Amino acid sequence: MSEITKQSLSELVKNIKDKNLSSEEVTKAFIDRSEKSKELNAYITENYSSALENAKKFDQKPNLELKLPGIPMAVKDLFCTKDIRTTAGSKILGNFVPTYESTVTQNLWDEGAILIGKLNCDEFAMGSSNETSFFGNVQNPIDKSLVPGGSSGGSASAVAGQLTPITIGTDTGGSIRQPASFTGTVGLKPTYGSCSRYGIVAFASSLDQAGPMAQNVKDCALLQEVISTYDPKDSTSIEFKRNEYSKELTNNIKGKKIGIPKEYRVEGMPKEIEDLWQKGIEFAKDCGAQIVDITLPHTSYALPTYYIVAPAEASSNLARYDGVKYGFRSKGENLTDMYEKTRSEGFGDEVQRRIMIGTYVLSSGYYDAYYLKAQKIRKLIKNDFDEAYKKVDAILTPSTPSSAFKIGEKKDDPVSMYLNDIFTVPVNLAGLPGISIPAGQDTKGYPLGLQIIGKAFDEQSILNIAYAMEEKIKFKNKITDWWIK
């Protein structure tokens, strides 16, 4: 048996079910490694002692029928967890302890998972490098001073660094897939409406979606199976037949039609990304898939559309953080003064920037020119995909236009930072599922990911394609444990 923290979720589940390992042993192993990995700064809040207690409790009366029997895991700190601090990476929620549990995390605990901690993320999930977190940068286990991507940077770092066997993130414009790509891990953004948003600190309600992150496709499939449930507490949750994704997972994708959208060949795209994409096409062919050239004509409008819609919703969603009811409050001379001080001290720069953009695009006189137009383009982008899916079963693109960059490299250049999301945002705008799988390394040895985009509610197909390609790609993440002294 290999070292516990190196095992995949499926191996751990099997070993616990076969009683080769106890939940306590597994939990302790991940806690120990997490303790040694403080330099990654992946955690905002640790829950070690109560995790160990829960593991012991599980072992006393193990329910081995569960899908995640006694499996320890950390989750992005955007999910509200009952009695455990939930910060959304922000000072303004720095002391906030929910009295309630998000539906998605509740689903995890109901299947036997045990919470070991809350993972770092960009403040209110706004960022692509985890540098906007009030709780500091997160290191990428791939290399020192490298960003893990964002906003689910702590989650990606924790999975790649084996601090947690699996995790969940949220993805509004690429926040699961981009960090997965940067850390050589697998991340799935499900169809909008697949996972309940109840209890997830909102960024942009019409785009936010929780999803699984893991070391391989199979683990992702199992986790997706657990977290995706219809939830009447979320009016945008959708009732549809949810597969047992892990059970129905197959590497037989013969005859599946995979579209290659020409518009994703963006200007200035590094050659290694172009090469990776080509390699991906070859792998897909090797798996028996049929490659079809397609067009998604409105792709170039996706990024500006996203950076109108998301900030607009965010500006309104974040209005509740006003110092009146909970969270951080600064003293003020009067109500308005208190609001101004609380919000300018409580929110970081990027969040304030997006609140201002959002407020601007919704203002009377600008609404039609920005917000309304963006909504119209959003519809066109969705139509592009609908047209494409008349011809193909899935679409293959790179996950990101580059590999991970250095901490600080793009911090003062928001536009260049936003460009990171260029391949991922169209998927959120169209509400579709997308998965990023590691597919190679650049010249520096940093991982690069490929994205497979599916039809709405057809997570199974993209999981199958990813599973089949994963087998061919045989990607091996280079983790040197450089941060462990």
Partner 1 sequence: MSKNKSDYLINRKDNQYEVVIGLEVHAQVTSESKLFSSSSTKFGAEPNTQVSLVDAAFPGMLPVINEFCVKQAIKTGIGLNAKINKRSVFDRKNYFYADLPQGYQISQFKDPIVGEGKVILDMPEGQKEVGIERLHLEQDAGKSIHDLDPQNTFVDLNRSGVALMEIVSKPDLRSPDEVSAYIKKLRSIMRYLGTCDGNMQEGSLRADVNVSVRVKGSKELGIRCEIKNVNSIKFMQMAIEYEANRQVDLIEDGKSIDQETRLFDTKKNETRSMRSKEDAHDYRYFPDPDLLPLEVSDEFVNELKKNIPELPDDKKKRFIDEFKLSPYEATILVSDIETAKYFEEVVAKMGKNKDIKLAVNWITGELFAVLNDKNLEISQSPVSAKNLAILVNLIKNGTISGKIAKTVFELMLDGDKDPQKIVEEKGLKQQSDPKAIEALIDKIINDNREKAIEYKQGKEKLFGFFVGQAMKVSGGKANPQLINEILKKKLQ
Concerning whether 151 is annotated as a catalytic residue, the answer is yes
Active-site entry in 23, 34, 157, 175: 175
Site for partner 1, residues 150 to 169, rule: CB under 8 A: none
Phi, psi angle pair for 437, to nearest 5°:
-125, 145
Residue closer to partner 1 (CB basis): 205 or 229: 205
Q: How far apart are CA 393 and CA 284, in angstroms?
A: 13
Which span sits near partner 1 by CB under 8 A: 56-64, 132-140, 299-307, 355-363?
355-363
Q: Which of 30, 43, 283, 371 binds partner 1 (CB under 8 A)?
A: 371
Active-site entry in 23, 151, 181, 436: 151
Q: Which of 2, 49, 60, 235 binds partner 1 (CB under 8 A)?
A: 235
Alpha helices (runs of H) in 335-457, residue ranges in sequence order: 335-346, 349-362, 373-388, 414-418, 425-430
Residue 151, preceding peptide bond in cis (omega within 30° of 0): yes
Nearest approach in angstroms of CB 234 to partner 1 is 5
β-pair partners for 258: 291, 394
Nearest approach in angstroms of CB 339 to partner 1 is 6
Concerning whether 246 is annotated as a catalytic residue, the answer is no
Nearest approach in angstroms of CB 107 to partner 1 is 15
Q: Among all chains, which residue has been given the structure tokens 């994708």?
A: 253
Residue closer to partner 1 (CB basis): 99 or 443: 99
Q: How far apart are CA 401 and CA 270, in angstroms?
A: 7
Residue closer to partner 1 (CB basis): 20 or 95: 95
Q: Which of 14, 38, 144, 233 binds partner 1 (CB under 8 A)?
A: 233
Nearest approach in angstroms of CB 135 to partner 1 is 17
Q: Which of 143, 234, 263, 458 binds partner 1 (CB under 8 A)?
A: 234
Q: Is 364 in the site for partner 1 (CB under 8 A)?
A: yes
Residue closer to partner 1 (CB basis): 136 or 232: 232
Report the SS3 class of residue 123.
Answer: helix
Concerning whether 175 is annotated as a catalytic residue, the answer is yes
Q: How far apart are CA 19 and CA 65, in angstroms?
A: 13
Query: For the chain, how far is it from start to end, CA to CA, in angstroms?
Result: 25
Q: Is 333 in the site for partner 1 (CB under 8 A)?
A: no
Q: Is 80 in the site for partner 1 (CB under 8 A)?
A: yes
Nearest approach in angstroms of CB 224 to partner 1 is 20
DSSP state of 91: G
Site for partner 1, residues 84 to 123, rule: CB under 8 A: 86, 88, 93, 96, 98-100, 102
Nearest approach in angstroms of CB 379 to partner 1 is 13
Site for partner 1, residues 170 to 229, rule: CB under 8 A: 197-202, 204-206
- x-or-dash string of contact with partner 1, 303-332, rule CB under 8 A: ---------xx-xx-xxx-x-xxx------
Active-site entry in 23, 34, 67, 76: 76
Phi, psi angle pair for 346, to nearest 5°:
-80, -30
How many residues bind partner 1 (CB under 8 A)? The answer is 44
Q: How far apart are CA 289 and CA 134, in angstroms?
A: 45
- Reported for 48-56, long-range contacts at CB under 8 A and 24+ positions apart, including other chains, are 48/116, 48/117, 50/115, 51/27, 51/114, 51/115, 51/116, 51/117, 52/24, 52/27, 52/28, 54/27, 54/114, 54/115, 55/22, 55/23, 55/24, 55/26, 55/27, 55/28, 55/114, 56/23, 56/24
Nearest approach in angstroms of CB 364 to partner 1 is 5
Residue closer to partner 1 (CB basis): 165 or 199: 199
Nearest approach in angstroms of CB 370 to partner 1 is 11
Q: What is the DSSP string of 201-248?
A: PPS-TTT--EEEEESSHHHHHHHHHHH----TTSTT--------TTTT
Alpha-carbon distance values, 276 to 224, 320, 369, 399, 407 (Å): 27, 44, 38, 10, 24
- The residues, ordered by sequence, that sit 6+ positions from 339 with a Cβ below 8 Å of its Cβ are 322, 323, 332
Q: How far apart are CA 128 and CA 148, in angstroms?
A: 9
Q: Provide the annotated active-site residues.
A: 76, 151, 175
Task: Using CB under 8 A, list all residues that contact partner 1.
Answer: 79-80, 86, 88, 93, 96, 98-100, 102, 197-202, 204-206, 232-236, 312-313, 315-316, 318-320, 322, 324-326, 335-336, 339, 359, 362-364, 367, 371
